[in-house]
Chains A and B, each alone.
Chain A
Amino acid sequence: MSQVTPRIELRTSPHLHEGPSVDQIMRNVVWALLPICGMAVYTFGVSVLVLVLVVVATCLLTEYAFSVFSGAQQTLGDYSALITGVLLALTLPPGFPLWMGAVAGFVAIALGKVLFGGLGCNVFNPALVGRAFVQAAFPVAITTWTPALAPGRFLEFIPSSLAVPLSQAPDVAQWSKQVSVDAFSGATPLALQKFESIVSDPLSLALGLVPGSAGETSAGLILICGLYLALRRMLNWRIPVAVLLSAAVTAAAFHWFDPGRYPDAVFVVLSGGLMLGAWFMATDMVGSPVTPAGVWIFGALIGFLTVIIRLFGGLTEGVMYAILLANAASPLIDAITQPRVYGERKRTNRR
Chain B
Amino acid sequence: MGLGHFLRARVFAHGVHTPQNKDVTNRLPVRRLPFASRMILPLDQHIGKPSIPIVNVRQEVVRGEPLARADGFMSVPIHAPATGMIESIELMPTARGPKTMSIVLRVHPGSNQEVLYGMPQDIDSMSPEEIIQAVQDSGLVGLGGAAFPCHVKLCVPEGHNVDTLMVNGCECEPYLTTDHRVMVENTDDLLRGVEIARRAAGAQQAVIGIEDNKQDAYEAIRAKLPKDGHIRVATVPTKYPQGSEKLLISVLLGREVPSGGLPSEVGVLVNNVGTLAKLGELLPAGQTLIERVVTIAGPGVKKPGNYIIPIGTPLRFVMQQVGFTGSAQRVILGGPMMGAAVASLDVPVTKGVTGLLAFSSATSIEESSRKIYHCIKCGKCLEACPLHLNPSQLGLLAAKRQYETMAERYHLFDCFECGCCSYVCPAGIPLVQYFRVAKSVNREKAA
Instruction: Name A's B-contacting residues (CB within 8 A).
Output: 1-2, 4, 6-25, 78, 117-121, 236, 285-286, 288-292, 295, 334, 338-345, 350-351
In the complex, chain A residues whose CB is within 8 Å of the CB of B18:
16, 18
Say yes or no: is B112 at the interface (Cβ < 8 Å to chain A).
no
Q: Are B388 and A14 in contact (CB under 8 A)?
A: no
**Residue pair A15, B332 in contact (C-beta under 8 Å):** yes
Residues of chain B contacted by A11 (CB below 8 angstroms):
330, 341, 368
Q: Is B342 an interface residue (CB 8 A)?
A: yes
Total of A-B residue pairs, C-beta within 8 Å? 188
Which chain B positions have C-beta within 8 A of A21? 370-371, 373, 426-428
**B377 touches which of A4, A13, A19, A290 (Cβ 8 Å):** A290
Known: A338-B390, A340-B388. A6 touches B377 (CB 8 A): no
Distance in angstroms between the alpha carbons of A295 and B392 in the assembled complex: 14
Measured CB to CB, the residues of B under 8 A from A are: 16, 18-19, 174, 246, 250, 256-261, 300, 316, 319-320, 324, 326-332, 334, 336-345, 358-359, 365-366, 368, 370-371, 373-380, 382-383, 386-390, 392-393, 408-411, 414, 417, 419-420, 422-428, 430, 432-433, 436
Q: Which residues of B contact A12 (CB under 8 A)?
A: 340-341, 430, 432-433, 436
A113, chain B: closest CB distance, angstroms: 11
Residues of B within 8 A of A24 (CB): 426
- Do A4 and B341 have beta carbons less than 8 Å apart? no
Q: Which 7 A-B pairs have the closest CB atoms?
A: A120-B374, A14-B419, A6-B328, A290-B379, A343-B259, A342-B387, A12-B433
CA A338 to CA B409, docked complex, whole Å: 10
Inter-chain contacts of B368 with A (CB < 8 A): 9, 11
Contact of B390 with A22 in the complex, beta carbons under 8 Å: no
With a 10 A CB-CB cut-off, give which of B174, B388, B424 has the most chain A CB atoms. Answer: B388
**Within the complex, what minimum Cβ distance (angstroms) separates A114 from chain B?**
13
Residue of A nearest to B318 (CB): A4
Known: A12-B341, A285-B376. A120 touches B174 (CB 8 A): no
Q: Is the CB of B414 within 8 A of A343?
A: yes
* Residues A22 and B320 in contact, CB atoms below 8 Å apart: no
Chain A nearest CB: distance from B439 CB in Å? 13
Please judge, given known A-B contacts A17-B370, A22-B376, A286-B377, whether A342 and B426 are in contact too, CB under 8 Å: no
Tell me the nearest residue of chain A to B436, going by C-beta: A12
Question: Are the C-beta atoms of A341 and B337 separated by less than 8 Å?
Answer: no
Out of B342, B423, B430, name the residue touching A18 (CB < 8 Å). Answer: B423
13 cross-chain CB contacts under 8 A: A4-B316, A4-B319, A13-B432, A14-B432, A16-B419, A16-B423, A21-B370, A121-B374, A285-B379, A286-B376, A289-B379, A290-B377, A290-B378
Q: Bound state CA distance, A22 and B426, in angstroms?
A: 5
In the complex, are the beta carbons of B341 and A10 less than 8 A apart?
A: yes
Residues of B near A339 (CB, < 8 A) are 382, 388-390
- In addition to A119-B374, A119-B376, A285-B377, 11 A-B residue pairs with Cβ atoms within 8 Å of each other are A4-B320, A8-B331, A10-B343, A12-B433, A13-B340, A15-B359, A121-B374, A288-B377, A290-B382, A290-B390, A344-B411
On chain A, the residues within 8 Å of B332 by CB distance are 13, 15
Contacts of A338 in B (CB 8 A): 390, 410
- Does A291 contact B344, Cβ atoms closer than 8 Å? no
Contacts of A288 in B (CB 8 A): 377
* Bound CA span A263–B400, Å: 48
Contact partner of A16 among B336, B340, B378, B417, CB < 8 A? B336
In the complex, A141→B390 CA distance in Å?
A: 44
B409: which of A119, A120, A121, A350 is its contact (CB, 8 Å)?
A350
Find chain A residues with CB under 8 A from B427 CB.
Answer: 21-22, 120
Contacts of B386 in A (CB 8 A): 342
Contact of B388 among A2, A120, A295, A342 (CB under 8 A): A342
Question: Contacts A25-B426, A285-B379, A286-B376 given: A13-B339 contact, CB under 8 Å?
Answer: yes
Q: Tell me the minimal C-beta distance from A334 to chain B in angstroms.
A: 7
In the complex formed, the residue of B with least CB distance to A294 is B379
* B426 adjacent to A119 (CB under 8 Å): no
Alpha-carbon distance between A20 and B409 when the two chains are bound, in angstroms: 30
Also in contact, A9 and B341, with CB within 8 A (given A16-B423, A21-B371) = yes
Q: How far is the CA of A292 from the CA of B332 in the complex (A)?
A: 35
- Which listed residue, B316, B345, B375, touches A120 by the CB 8 Å rule? B375
A10 to B95, CA, bound (A): 12
Q: In the complex, how many angstroms separate the beta carbon of A218 from the nearest chain B beta carbon?
A: 27
**Residue contact A19 to B393, C-beta cutoff 8 Å:** no
| Contact, CB under 8 Å: B373 / A13 | no
B21 nearest CB neighbor, chain A only: A16
Question: Please, which residues of chain B bring their CB within 8 A of the CB of A295?
Answer: 379
Distance from B12 Cβ to chain A, minimum over Cβ atoms (Å): 9
Given contact pairs A21-B371, A291-B390, A343-B257, A13 touches B336 in the complex (Cβ within 8 A): yes
User: By the criterion CB–CB under 8 Å, are A341 and B411 in contact?
Assistant: yes
Given A2-B320, A8-B344, A350-B409, verify A15-B337 contact (CB < 8 Å).
yes
**Interface contact A17-B16, CB-CB below 8 Å:** no
Task: Give the complex CA separation of A166 and B408 in angstroms.
Answer: 57
- Please, which residue of chain A has its CB at the minimum distance from the CB of B387? A342
Known interface pairs A8-B329, A343-B261; A292-B341 also in contact (CB < 8 Å): no
CB closest chain-A residue, reference B334: A13
Across the interface, name the chain A residue whose C-beta is closest to B410. Answer: A338
- Known: A119-B374, A345-B259. Contact between A14 and B341, CB under 8 A? no
